[in-house]
Amino acid sequence: MPVQVLMPALSPTMTEGNLVKWLKKEGDSIKAGQVLAEIETDKATMEVEAVDEGTLGKILIPEGSEAVKVNTLIALILEEGEDASALENIKVEPSPVTTTHAAPTPSLQDNTPPLAVTPATAPSANNNRVIASPVAKRLASSLNMDLSTVVGTGPRGRIIKADVEGATAHKPSAGHIAASKESDFTDIPLTMMRKTIAKRLVESKQTVPHFYLSITCEIDELLKIRTSLNEKREKHNKISVNDFVIMAAAKALKEVPDANVSFHETFIRRYSQTDISVAVAIDGGLVTPIIRDASSQSLGNLSATMKQLAERARDGKLQPHEFQGGSFCISNLGMYGITQFQAIINPPQACILAVGAGVPTPVIKNGTVTQATLMNCTLSVDHRAVDGALGAKFLASFKSFIENPITLFA
């Protein structure tokens, strides 16, 4: 019997995914470990490898299909000795759940008629019918766009998603044309990542009792040490202020281990290792790759690891173990000139540290007005797991490491 290839769950939060691209075509031989397809999750575009050998007998969900439910049958692999006749016992049935892709959910049954699935790229027998991908049709429908006015750039003139988006960029959607030019607008469909961000952050603000603690750190000594360390480093290998922040937070969590926790309904989990999640802005949203055991790393190694993770995040190449978990989170908007903000906790983590820009500021020292570079940091705290005094103790430790950065190397 053919081997079933199901839509995999590539992260704990994944319930559906976009089938971006098939890297094998029907009739290709398959070896274990070879990449079959690219799947877009709410975090990244990931490669799916084959675990069985054989021949790719049938692709059931075409590339470009969106919102394919986890465990949906997407393809069949013929085992050694099987030929196309083994596919005759496959019947396509309507999916019992709502899906947004064009192909119905297939299943294996005995003694059923041959499979009849029309590929999304198949030309229409009716020359007057518009040929478009399922994704393009759904997008055009949501924008009230007449597909007959769109020029297709896909195979044999097929209209694809990019064609609809291109037409939308130059022309307001039908039915969305406002009374005045100033009121024209374009609806941008939510990506899987944006849907997940929206869902999780609403849940966080509605269910997690946030409170906030702010502290101001003087970073002039840190900047001097950073300049000294970077003098002989290549441009791509420079240590950033954020690297110091990550290490200081990790060291502070070692000193105040009761802040290195996550909340669960019947218990609080305290971590022995400081796995720091760091927010990285990417196209369409953000992800939080993790620096594992940050407190035990050298500043140079931590900096190199962070750069590699940030690059992989922006390229959509993070693996699940690189962004799942984490005991504490840092969000730094200082590089954008933001001086102070409050971040939203990412459950089940109990804390997230929002870091602002260092700003030259007049201060009074020993009765004399002088200048210092001050950096504001705000800790968002889940009051179910961390109380105010404990949060303040963590920030005091963090401030000590930031203002005396030589202690980070001890």
pLDDT in tens, the chain (410 residues): 788 888 888 777 778 888 988 999 888 888 888 889 988 887 677 888 888 788 888 898 998 888 888 889 898 888 887 877 777 766 544 433 333 343 333 434 333 333 333 333 333 334 456 777 766 777 787 788 888 888 877 655 768 777 787 777 655 444 444 444 556 888 888 888 888 889 999 999 999 999 999 999 999 999 999 999 999 898 889 999 999 999 999 999 999 999 999 999 999 999 999 999 999 998 888 999 999 999 999 999 999 999 999 999 988 888 888 998 999 999 999 999 999 999 999 999 999 999 999 999 999 999 999 999 999 999 999 999 999 999 999 999 999 999 999 999 98
The CATH architecture assigned to 134-183 reads Irregular (4.10)
The whole model's pTM is what?
0.64
In whole angstroms, give the CA distance from residue 406 to residue 13.
41
Domain ranges in the chain with CATH number 2.40.50.100: 3-108
For the domain bounded by 3-108, which CATH number is listed?
2.40.50.100
**Residue 93, phi-psi category: left (phi > 0), alpha (psi -120 to 50), beta (remainder):** beta
Catalytic residue among 210, 236, 264, 383: 383
Cα–Cα distance, 326 to 277 (Å, whole number)? 5
Residue 311: what pLDDT?
93
Count how many residues are written for the chain.
410
DSSP state of 398: H
Sign of CA dihedral 246, 281, 224, 301: positive
Give the pLDDT score at 183.
67
Neighbours of 321 (CB within 10 A): 9
Q: Give the whole-angstrom CA distance, residue 198 versus residue 209.
A: 18
Pairing of strands 328-332, 276-278: parallel
Residue pointed to by tokens 């210092």: 372
Beta strands in 97-185 (DSSP E): 106-108
DSSP-derived letter for residue 347 is T
**Tell me, what's the pLDDT at 284?**
80
Residue extent(s) of CATH 3.30.559.10 domains in the chain: 209-409
For CATH 4.10.320.10, the residue range(s) in the chain are: 134-183
Topology given in CATH for the domain delimited by 209-409: Chloramphenicol Acetyltransferase (3.30.559)
How much is the pLDDT for 285?
87
**pLDDT value of residue 90:** 67
Rounded CA separation 177/195 (Å): 26
pLDDT at 123: 38
Does residue 236 have an active-site annotation? no
Please answer whether residues 373 and 359 qualify as being in contact, where contact means their C-beta atoms are separated by less than 8 angstroms: yes
pLDDT of residue 54: 87
